[in-house]
Amino acid sequence: MPGLGTDMRPAQFFNIHEGQTVDAIASRILPGTADDPGAHEAGVVFYIDAKLGGTNLGYSLKTYQQGPFPVVSETPVTVEAASSRDIYDYVTVASEQISRFGYQSVQTPQEVYRQGLGFVDDYAQSKFKKDFIDLSADQQDQILTDMEADKATGFDGPSGAAFFTQLRNDTIEGMFSDPMYGGNQNMVGWKLIGYPGAQRNYTPDDLHNTSFKRDPQSLAMLMAKEGH
């Protein structure tokens, strides 16, 4: 298995170049340094790799791939339009209702990432004659800005905007989820926002003390303390 990161942790899904690309993208979405950790320091790429590899809850679960698939509309949608599939096997869904739908695509999340990362490099090559990981920070930001605005060309499933949204959401999850899922190494995400993590309980005095703080604790730390 290829290794990812400076500690060469075994990869479950990504090859080395894919892992480096995801790490670079996540590092622009949530940049950081050793003194002020971001996505790279939190090991977000390991979270995403494990998620795609099927060891975490999420992408290993069943997904809806049979259609009809939702198309988001920013304007009001009639009941008839939201209930009737068209000849392309789509239904129109109002934007405020899309959260009711789970993951729906003809592509698996693994296919979305594998193809999407290829599109990222293709677009970077078309603009700067280099792969994404070889660009400057400003050039990388331009690529991601174009993707977010759906202006990046060559993205043929997933779209640039859809893939950016997936990357951003997974980066946030990897930054702030429990370390047992692969990211948030050393609980740097929780320390950043002052989140205490998995605590056994709080006393009434704790709750009434506005200056009360506890060091963050992961689920593994909690279980170790309780002897599990």
DSSP string, 80-135: HHHH---TTSEEEEEGGGGGGS--B-SS-HHHHHHHHHHHHHHHHHHHHSS-GGGS
Q: Are residues 133 and 215 in the same domain?
A: no
Q: Are residues 113 and 174 in the same domain?
A: yes
Q: Are residues 171 and 135 in the same domain?
A: yes
pLDDT of amino acid 70: 72
Report whether 137 contacts 145 (CB < 8 A).
no
pTM beyond cutoff 0.85 = no
The span from the CA of 38 to the CA of 62, in Å, is 31
The span from the CA of 38 to the CA of 133, in Å, is 17
Domain count, the chain: 3
Q: Which residue, among 171, 165, 154, has the nearest Cα to 27 in the 3D structure?
A: 171
Read off the pLDDT of residues 61-118 as tens digits, 9 standing for 90 and up: 455 566 677 777 777 777 676 666 665 567 777 776 766 666 666 677 888 999 999 9
Report whether 43 contacts 174 (CB < 8 A).
yes
Q: Are residues 164 and 124 in the same domain?
A: yes
Q: Are residues 209 and 151 in the same domain?
A: no
pLDDT of amino acid 5: 54
Q: Are residues 201 and 90 in the same domain?
A: no
- What residues contact 4, with CB distance under 8 A and at least 6 apart? 10, 11, 14, 16, 19, 20, 23, 45, 46, 49
Q: Are residues 24 and 96 in the same domain?
A: no
Q: Are residues 180 and 200 in the same domain?
A: no
pLDDT of amino acid 94: 75
The span from the CA of 153 to the CA of 177, in Å, is 33
The span from the CA of 200 to the CA of 180, in Å, is 17
Q: Are residues 91 and 32 in the same domain?
A: no
Residue range(s) defining the domain that contains residue 100:
64-104
Q: Are residues 146 and 218 in the same domain?
A: no
Mean pLDDT of the chain: 85
Q: Are residues 49 and 88 in the same domain?
A: no
Q: Are residues 130 and 181 in the same domain?
A: yes
pLDDT of amino acid 100: 65
* Encoded tokens for 101: 């739908």
Report whether 196 contacts 217 (CB < 8 A).
yes
The span from the CA of 49 to the CA of 67, in Å, is 27
Q: Which residues of the chain have pLDDT under 70?
A: 1-8, 55-67, 79, 81-89, 96, 98-106, 226-228
pLDDT of amino acid 125: 98
